């Protein structure tokens, strides 16, 4: 049922008139719940509050699927500005970057050039970048982009694997075989509308695969960033951490800004390392749509805004 709900929401979100209406009104109706600000300067007060509450942060400058070099360079400039603003504010510049916002969809060399500049700039300020994973068409390109960053000297760079893709167990093995020692890896369920030939459709099967990926990554020596709000996955993953005697530097629980704040606080209070994925920027529609598709409770935020 949840899978059907997700497909329905993503399908509706892609309808032209719905998208245009949502872009005009969505910020007022609920997008601000999930996006910290339309610019890094707008977001900084919220970021400082989160740090004071015991959370770490990974900032996502929103944008994806650009199709021209000028647009990719503009997106890269915005990410660079964000790195510098975070560093000036005394906040570690840890950023999540979508490869298609740097031009991966049309020029892999351009994406590698821009990504390397950003990754090295972040690492020079004691930060790092994570290459976010997009729909299945870009998995190979993203994994190769990560390898190119490592070869360019940005050894702290990381990426994301999506549990629902059939290919992911093999990708995990290949990725960690090539990665620098002690690399980190974010694991998510997956939030794109993928067909059955590409991705698991059954929620229980996705959960089982997710936990198997976490355990295998820990066995291979990686730091695993468990990125989910699924109580069962969090419970099983933290039980594995305790049972295996893993130190705090071998895992993080990563959650989304604006989603289940009581769970976030409980995990902090229980002593777990918690990092929030915090989106920033004006190009928020695609991200916002995927958040609505994840849980009916998220869609209720928009409904309350419409009804006043």
User: Which are the catalytic amino acids?
Assistant: 132, 186
Q: Which residue has the tokens 């869609």?
A: 299
User: CA–CA separation, 279 vs 291, rounded Å?
Assistant: 11
Other Cβ atoms within 10 Å of 65 Cβ, number = 16
**DSSP label at residue 193:** -
Contact partners, residue 39, CB within 8 Å, separation at least 6: 280, 281, 282
Q: Which residues pair with 280 in a beta bridge?
A: 61
User: CA–CA separation, 4 vs 300, rounded Å?
Assistant: 17
Distances (CA, A) of 152 to 64, 120, 258: 23, 9, 35
Number of H helices, E strands in the chain: 13, 8
For residue 161, the SS3 value is strand
Q: Which residues pair with 9 in a beta bridge?
A: none
Residue 156: what are its φ and ψ, rounded to 5°? -90, -5
Of 132, 76, 145, nearest to 104 by C-alpha is 145
């Amino acid at each position: 049922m949840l899978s059907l709900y997700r497909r329905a929401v993503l399908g509706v979100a892609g309808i032209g008139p719905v998208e245009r209406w949502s872009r005009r009104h969505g910020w007022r109706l609920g997008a601000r719940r999930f996006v910290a600000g339309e610019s890094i300067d707008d977001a900084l007060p919220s970021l400082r509050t989160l740090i004071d509450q015991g959370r770490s942060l990974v900032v996502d400058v929103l944008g994806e699927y650009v199709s021209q070099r000028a647009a990719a360079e503009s997106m890269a400039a915005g990410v660079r500005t964000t790195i510098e603003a975070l560093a000036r504010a005394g906040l570690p510049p840890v950023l999540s970057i979508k490869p298609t916002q740097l031009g991966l969809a049309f020029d892999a060399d351009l994406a590698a050039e821009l990504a390397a500049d950003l990754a090295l700039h972040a690492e020079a300020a004691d930060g790092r970048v994570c290459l976010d994973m997009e729909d299945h068409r870009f998995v190979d390109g993203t994994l190769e982009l990560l390898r190119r960053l490592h070869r360019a000297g940005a050894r702290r760079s990381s990426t994301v694997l999506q549990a629902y893709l059939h290919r992911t167990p093999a990708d995990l093995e290949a990725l960690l075989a090539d990665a620098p020692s002690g690399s980190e890896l974010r694991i998510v369920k997956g939030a794109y509308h993928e067909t059955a030939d590409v991705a698991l459709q059954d929620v229980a099967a996705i959960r089982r695969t997710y936990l198997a990926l976490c355990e295998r990554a820990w066995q291979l020596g990686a730091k695993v960033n468990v990125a989910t709000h699924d109580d069962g996955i969090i419970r099983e993953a933290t039980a594995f951490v305790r049972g295996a005697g893993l130190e705090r530097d071998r895992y993080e629980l990563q959650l989304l800004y604006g989603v289940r704040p009581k769970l976030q606080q409980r995990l902090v209070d229980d002593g777990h390392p918690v990092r929030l994925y915090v989106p920033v920027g004006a190009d928020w529609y695609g991200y916002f749509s995927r958040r609505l598709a994840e849980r009916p409770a998220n869609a209720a935020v928009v409904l309350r805004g419409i009804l006043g």
